């Protein structure tokens, strides 16, 4: 019986056509299969889920509102000691925020000789001793060493409420209120609105603000529901709710809610029709009256079956991808308590990046991540903030032990932070190797001791793909880990004046150097290695977005991603995580426009079209399984063409499958001689089909799946690889 995802994949093959360009077998490039596998348990390609977005294509959640409980925020940041005395400690110059920003924050020493020492910041100045950020404390400090790591944490529950937008005319009328909240709320506060007669108090939420680029990425059709808890001091006061697209069409929802003096939940069901041109969508909650009105725990979303907090489209499409692991978005500055908080009680957390002001972020919970992983048949890959303290790491381990009794995952990957080597993330990462090793060893020990031996944890450190020496330093200074993981992005530059052939040659240029170097580093340390993110990184150069998008989201881009994944697998990387599920585009400052990086999907709601990169991941996951074998070239006179062909063969149960890519500008006929065993040979070739290697699925489904029978002679299987193409070989029945 076909699984759900296999049935959907075979449905795509209805779009297939006969395999073109086939030539005589004696013109084939001949390969054999090595007798020993390069991997004995290759995982299917995993997927980075990415960030929940309300502006782009990442509309993941059924309740489309972030911070629906009007909660405060958590702000955490790492300080590496440059100087200290009994009264204060300092960070290094250039890593500060404005004076008094951290006043009242809590601090805890996380490395060195005094781990666990805590206190409160009495006063903070951006330029103190030596011009460096200086933190003055409430009690005498012990003697600290240079680079000792200290985490400062500020919990804020005061105006203004984060994530929501307050118009200028309402800034004095909107206040968080810790003295009251709706009955049964898990949160800490509500929002008080102080209207002034005919001048309403207003809070707004915006959606789909990239629709001018990608069309309607959030489609408001069908059955929807809006819910809000509210009460008024005066029963004559009321709320007006408006939900509309700013294109001059009728609102999706326009409702007056008459209030009373007790908390009450108001639910409005409506059936919107999304017409008119794509523009931004707005939800406006307007309070009218002369006395305070309180609101709490708002919900807005399409009515869908099931109990998952994620939209049905997210579950269905991820199931179709059939990933091995699902990696979360990495809420690096969040607390453990907030990571497991219910939606109505969850706070915003602040993202710190070098050179930027703190940015408010709102994430789904660990439980959300685990339940989604189970729903799609994947294992969870969880990024663990390096800013947690001992009690948080212990609580996390206990939580994982209980969760795995519920979900029974075969593997749970826990990754210590995100790109600690990357100084861009230095406010929430550990770029110093020795400090990193001490903190990561302690964190992993606390987690695994609390989780217990029965919880199948895999402990991962992040290395730097571009510099294997850096990866080596992180591994030299850490002892308690299982795996190193890197991100071998590729295809960085696109300049005006480059011709198509040159661009496609660059797209298929192998990234052997860094991947090979990191593979050697991991081997020397006796550790496993994996890839936490892989895709194109075409952010440099001045080629305009229109031309650039043909290459980064075209058919050849899918084949190139498959090539890089196969090359990595042949080097022993396992698992490999594609980046990422849903991201419509990325703004490039040099060309002042959005480029179609890095989403595997064009969108997940309106067209539901996969980009060719996503199609390639799905194809790979249709054949990966069992054991992976390298092929060896037998046709010496075809050496130049063969250098641009990458093949991986898989023996799963009683069948053989394979995947092959072609970086040549001409089709290539390939023959693979499979071992003389009793295993079934692949009878069907499936490939990315298009009229051009730069055809895309952005405006129409111009890249599809083609399929045709292979030619089988004894144990030889012959098929054609399209130019700049990607083919998988399937037995013609459900594959692994």
Tell me: the pLDDT tens digits for 240-288? 999 999 999 999 999 999 999 999 999 999 999 999 999 999 999 999 9
Query: Degrees (nearest 5) of the Cα angle 610, 611, 612?
Result: 115
650 burial level (CB within 10 Å; 0-12, 13-18, 19+): buried
Q: Report CA-CA distances (Å) from 566 to 170, 631, 717.
A: 56, 12, 20
Q: Which residues of the chain have pLDDT under 50?
A: 1-5, 7-8, 10-25, 735-736
What pLDDT sits at residue 513?
63
* Number of Cα atoms under 13 Å in the Cβ half of residue 574: 18
**Total length of the chain:** 736
Label the pairing between strands 264-270 and 224-232: antiparallel
Structure tokens at 73: 């925020």
What pLDDT sits at residue 638?
85
Helices 612-623, 4-12: axis angle to 10 degrees equals 120
CA distance 414 to 401: 13
Cβ atoms of 567 and 511 within 8 Å: the answer is yes
CA distance 172 to 192: 11
Cβ atoms of 415 and 485 within 8 Å: the answer is yes
Cβ atoms of 732 and 13 within 8 Å: the answer is no
Q: Report CA-CA distances (Å) from 266 to 62, 71, 228, 627.
A: 18, 20, 5, 56
Q: What is the DSSP string of 102-148?
A: TTT-EEEE-SGGGTT-EEEEEEEESS-GGGS-EEEESSPPPP--TT-
CA distance 494 to 194: 53
* Number of Cα atoms under 13 Å in the Cβ half of residue 415: 28
What pLDDT sits at residue 212?
84
Sign of the dihedral defined by the CA atoms of residues 349, 351, 356, 359, in that order: negative
Q: What is the pTM of this model?
A: 0.94
What pLDDT sits at residue 635?
86
What pLDDT sits at residue 9?
52
What pLDDT sits at residue 26?
62
What pLDDT sits at residue 12?
47
DSSP 8-class letter at 344: G
């Amino acid at each position: 019986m076909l699984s759900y995802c296999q049935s959907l994949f075979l449905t795509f093959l209805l779009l297939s056509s006969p395999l073109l360009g086939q030539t005589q077998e004696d013109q084939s490039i001949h390969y054999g299969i090595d007798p020993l596998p390069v991997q004995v348990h290759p995982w299917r390609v995993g997927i980075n889920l990415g960030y929940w977005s309300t502006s782009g294509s990442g509309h993941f959640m059924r309740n489309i509102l972030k911070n629906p409980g009007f909660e405060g925020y958590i702000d955490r940041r790492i300080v590496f000691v440059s100087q200290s005395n009994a009264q204060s400690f300092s960070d290094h110059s250039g890593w500060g925020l404005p004076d008094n920003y951290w006043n009242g924050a809590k601090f805890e020493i996380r490395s060195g000789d005094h781990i666990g020492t805590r206190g409160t910041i009495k006063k903070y100045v951006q330029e103190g001793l030596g011009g460096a950020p200086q933190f003055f404390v409430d009690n005498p400090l012990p003697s600290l060493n240079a680079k000792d790591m200290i985490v400062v944490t500020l919990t804020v529950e005061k105006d203004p409420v984060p994530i929501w937008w307050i118009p200028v005319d309402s800034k004095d009328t909107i206040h968080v209120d810790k003295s009251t909240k709706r009955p049964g709320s898990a949160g800490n506060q509500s929002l008080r609105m102080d209207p002034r007669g005919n001048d309403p108090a207003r809070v707004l939420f915006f959606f789909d603000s990239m629709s001018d680029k990608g069309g309607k990425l959030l489609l408001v059709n069908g059955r929807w529901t809006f819910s809000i808890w509210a009460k008024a001091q005066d029963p004559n006061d009321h709320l007006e709710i408006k939900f509309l697209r700013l294109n001059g069409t009728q609102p999706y929802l326009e409702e007056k809610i008459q209030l009373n003096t007790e908390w009450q939940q108001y639910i409005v069901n409506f059936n919107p029709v999304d017409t008119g041109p794509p523009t931004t969508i707005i939800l406006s909650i307007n309070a009218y009256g002369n006395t305070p009105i309180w609101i709490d725990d708002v919900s807005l979303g399409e009515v869908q079956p099931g109990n998952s907090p994620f939209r049905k489209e997210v579950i269905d499409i991820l199931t179709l991808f059939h990933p091995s692991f699902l990696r979360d978005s990495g809420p690096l500055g969040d607390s453990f308590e907030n990571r497991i908080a219910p939606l109505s009680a969850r706070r915003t957390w602040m993202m710190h990046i070098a050179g930027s002001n703190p940015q408010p972020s709102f994430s789904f919970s660990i439980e959300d991540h685990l339940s989604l992983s189970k729903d799609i048949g994947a294992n969870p890959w969880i990024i663990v903030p390096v800013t947690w303290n001992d009690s948080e790491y212990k609580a996390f381990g206990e939580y994982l032990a209980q969760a795995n009794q519920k979900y029974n995952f075969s593997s749970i990957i826990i990754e210590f932070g995100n790109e600690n080597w990357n100084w861009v993330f230095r406010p929430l990462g550990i770029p110093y190797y020795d400090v990193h090793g001490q903190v990561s060893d302690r964190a992993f020990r606390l987690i695994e001791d609390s989780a217990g031996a029965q919880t199948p944890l895999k402990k991962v450190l992040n290395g730097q793909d571009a510099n294997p020496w850096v990866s080596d330093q992180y591994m030299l200074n850490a002892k308690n880990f299982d795996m190193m993981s890197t991100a071998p992005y590729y295809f960085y530059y696109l300049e005006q004046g480059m011709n198509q052939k040159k661009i496609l040659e660059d797209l298929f240029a192998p990234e052997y150097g860094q991947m090979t170097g990191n593979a050697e580093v991991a081997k020397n340390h006796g550790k496993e290695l994996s890839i936490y993110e892989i895709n194109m990184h075409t952010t440099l150069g001045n080629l305009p977005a229109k031309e650039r998008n043909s290459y980064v989201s075209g058919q050849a881009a899918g084949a190139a991603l498959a090539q890089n994944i196969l090359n990595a697998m042949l080097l022993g990387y396992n698992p490999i995580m594609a980046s990422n599920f849903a991201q419509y585009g990325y703004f490039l400052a040099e060309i002042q426009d959005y480029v179609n990086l890095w989403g595997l999907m064009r969108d997940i709601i309106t067209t539901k079209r996969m980009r060719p990169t996503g199609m390639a991941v799905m194809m790979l996951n249709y054949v990966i399984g069992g054991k992976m074998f390298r092929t060896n070239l037998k046709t010496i006179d075809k050496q130049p063409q063969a250098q641009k062909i990458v093949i991986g063969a898989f023996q799963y149960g009683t069948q053989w499958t394979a995947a092959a890519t072609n970086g040549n500008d001409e089709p290539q006929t390939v023959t693979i001689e499979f071992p003389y065993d009793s295993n079934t040979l692949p009878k069907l070739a499936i490939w990315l089909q298009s009229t051009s290697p730069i055809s895309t699925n952005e405006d129409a489904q111009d890249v599809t799946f083609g399929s045709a029978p292979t030619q089988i002679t004894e144990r030889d299987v012959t098929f054609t690889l399209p130019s700049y193409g990607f083919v998988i070989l399937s037995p013609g029945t459900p594959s692994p």
